[in-house]
Amino acid sequence: MTAKKTIAAETVAEAYLTLMAERGIEYLFANGGTDFAPMIEALAAINEKGTTPRLKVVSVGHENVATSMAMSYYLHTGRPQLVMFHVNVGTANGINALIDAARDRVPIIFTAGRTPITEQGLKGSRDTGIHWNQEMFDQASMVREFCKWDYELRNAEQLEAVIDRAIEIATTEPCGPVYLSLPREVMAQKIDGFTFDPAPRRGFGTEPGPTEDQIARAAAILAKAERPLIIAQGAARLAPSAAAIGDFAERFAIPIVEFRTNVNAVSTEHPMLVGFNPLPHLKDADAVLCLEADTPWIPTQHGNPPDDCKVIQLGVDPMFQRIPIRSFPCDVAVTATPAVALPLIGKAMEAIATLKLIEGRRARIAAAKETAKAEIRANIEKASRDTPINPVWAAHCISEAKGDDAIVVNEYSLILRYVNFKEPRTCFGPPGAGGLGVGVGSAVGAKLANPDKTVIAVVGDGSYMFGNPTAGHYVLRALDLPVLFIVFNNGMWEEVEGSALRVFPDGHAARANRVPVAQLGPNPHYEHLMAVYGGYGERVDRPEQLPEALKRALHAVKVEKRQALINLIVGRRGAAP
């Protein structure tokens, strides 16, 4: 039994904020309102008393940016953070990124004030008109579908239990956000010190384990397969899983497709990485190992693997129970992280795998990779003189300029096939749920988590606007964090246009000069925004200008320590080769 610890907290809010820091939460990303009165008073008290550990508080001008920052910070560090917003309205603004976090299994302690319950009589009772208008019968109902747990703090006595339950549930696999509402009177309540357990006996970070039977059946399928395929998707959220995927694939010579991945699991130089698209690998496979893949392939685009192909679904919740309809085949489900399961499957395969099969495959994959490299080089050469700038050429130039350990946050526009990522976990893609507008905040969170690394955000002009860029640039300026933004400005929502043409290939929209809704022109001078934030901005509309422009912008970021933005006038991505 560890000794209890007592702190000289004067209010519930002060005890709450101190206990969060004691439990390892580093940041409070905040966007406040009248509900924050007790929090503000408590933070000032904590500062005045020099209490440690202490949360670092960052005021963020939009809740979606703040939530994206918390999401990204976790993906880089493995450590969940705290956000707090203004009652129901602030909650509403953060829900887009919350949906992304939920689908990508990112734990966030997502909190909001709750309008004062009492109309008068208590410290913190209602004192402005909005306190009636902001009350809801069930504030948490707004987020319940995307939070694993929700609760309202009702009194001081329950504080430690509530905080520990929130962290325990958020960090237990499958991880995800939890929601806590904090009424003003409860937070303002006076207390005379606060006593808690500094080493709680709780199940923080609990993981499921695979059964022996799951491991044996998966190993039997993979050992026998001649043309196995790994489809890796959400697995590299956890750094040990990324390493395990690379090791396992190399050992047994199994090609990896990183499809819709939000964090790259392996280096692009990994001998088994064959690309980012299940085509053409899926149609020949006789076994597919899906790693944390909610959508291992898209039947209407990629077809399905052959009927006799065995499919293994491996993940902490391999059935993705929170997705209402999902009908991908599953011959064996393995309930574990890749970090835990793959070494066990590998061990079980040792005795039954055939070396000849493995080495034959290794040689074939190496040859196919050489062919693909030649095609990539030819495509780059072909794209290099196109105006407007071809996204293939842009991707290549970014690849050449960025440096090996740079972190790239890609919201939509970067064609990964043309970019080298020497290190695993350096390419952070759009979240699986596709709630756009998280790229800007994710870049801020990435830089916060990796102050010594170059962080580059590659965003579409649409995604950039969704990202509340003024709030993002403001935080970077306030915290002195330099990030390079490359806005792929095609003056449209190409994806929206593309989806209309996919569904109606011979329709009216396909024949129209301008596809309705999807056009964003005329292209704004986004580079001028840098003047507002003391950054470096440049517009680039010719392909030969891009390499030097990237050097200038990276110089601004790395040497001058200023944020920078390249407004890159690009053409359509189309079905880029």
Ligand X SMILES: Cc1ncc(C[n+]2csc(CCOP(=O)(O)OP(=O)(O)O)c2C)c(N)n1
Binding-site ranges for ligand X (CB under 6 A) = 96, 412-413, 434-437, 460-463, 466, 490, 492-496, 573
Residue nearer to ligand X on the CB measure, 194 or 412 = 412
* Contacts for 364 with CB less than 8 Å, ≥ 6 apart: none
Residue nearer to ligand X on the CB measure, 466 or 533 = 466
Distance separating alpha carbons of residues 443 and 402, to the nearest angstrom: 15
Distance separating alpha carbons of residues 168 and 178, to the nearest angstrom: 10
Report residue 475: phi and psi, to 5°.
Answer: -65, -40
Residue 566: CB minimum distance to ligand X, A? 15
Distance separating alpha carbons of residues 212 and 134, to the nearest angstrom: 52
Residue from 382, 295, 288 nearest 331 by CA = 288
Residue closest to ligand X (Cβ): 460
Within a 10 A sphere around the Cβ of 118, how many other Cβ atoms? 14
Residue 275: CB minimum distance to ligand X, A? 20
Residue nearer to ligand X on the CB measure, 100 or 160 = 100
Residue 380: CB minimum distance to ligand X, A? 19
Query: What are the structure tokens assigned to 346, written together?
Result: 């590998």
Residue 465: CB minimum distance to ligand X, A? 8
Residue nearer to ligand X on the CB measure, 26 or 461 = 461
Residue nearer to ligand X on the CB measure, 400 or 495 = 495
The residue count for the chain? 577
E strand segments, 406-511: 407-411, 427-428, 455-460, 484-489
Residue from 484, 492, 494, 464 nearest 566 by CA = 484
Residue nearer to ligand X on the CB measure, 35 or 100 = 100
> Looking at residue 420, what DSSP letter applies?
-
Distance separating alpha carbons of residues 455 and 468, to the nearest angstrom: 18
Residue nearer to ligand X on the CB measure, 296 or 437 = 437
Whether residue 183 contacts residue 116, with contact meaning beta carbons closer than 8 Å, is answered with yes
Distance separating alpha carbons of residues 42 and 210, to the nearest angstrom: 45
Residue nearer to ligand X on the CB measure, 34 or 64 = 64
Residue from 139, 140, 161, 159 nearest 149 by CA = 140
Residue 24: CB minimum distance to ligand X, A? 31
Cα first-last separation, the chain = 62
Residue nearer to ligand X on the CB measure, 38 or 439 = 439
Report residue 386: phi and psi, to 5°.
Answer: -70, 140
Residue nearer to ligand X on the CB measure, 124 or 437 = 437
Residue from 234, 215, 293, 226 nearest 255 by CA = 226
DSSP run (H or E) holding 359: helix 355-383
Residue 570: CB minimum distance to ligand X, A? 9
Residue nearer to ligand X on the CB measure, 432 or 482 = 432
Residue 461: CB minimum distance to ligand X, A? 5
For the stretch 347-353, contacts whose Cβ atoms lie closer than 8 Å and that sit 24 or more positions apart, written own/partner, are: 348/215, 348/216, 348/218, 348/219, 349/219, 349/222, 349/223, 349/252, 352/219, 352/220, 352/223, 352/224, 353/222, 353/223, 353/252
Query: What are the structure tokens assigned to 240, written together?
Result: 């040990």
Residue 435: CB minimum distance to ligand X, A? 5
Q: Identify the burial level of 338 via C-beta atoms within 10 angstroms of its C-beta, where 0-12 means exposed, 13-18 middle and 19 or more buried.
A: buried
Q: At what angle do helices 159-171 and 12-22 cross, to 10 degrees?
A: 40
Residue 257: CB minimum distance to ligand X, A? 22
Residue 498: CB minimum distance to ligand X, A? 7
Residue 509: CB minimum distance to ligand X, A? 15
Residue nearer to ligand X on the CB measure, 171 or 468 = 468
Whether residue 100 contacts residue 431, with contact meaning beta carbons closer than 8 Å, is answered with yes
Residue 280: CB minimum distance to ligand X, A? 24
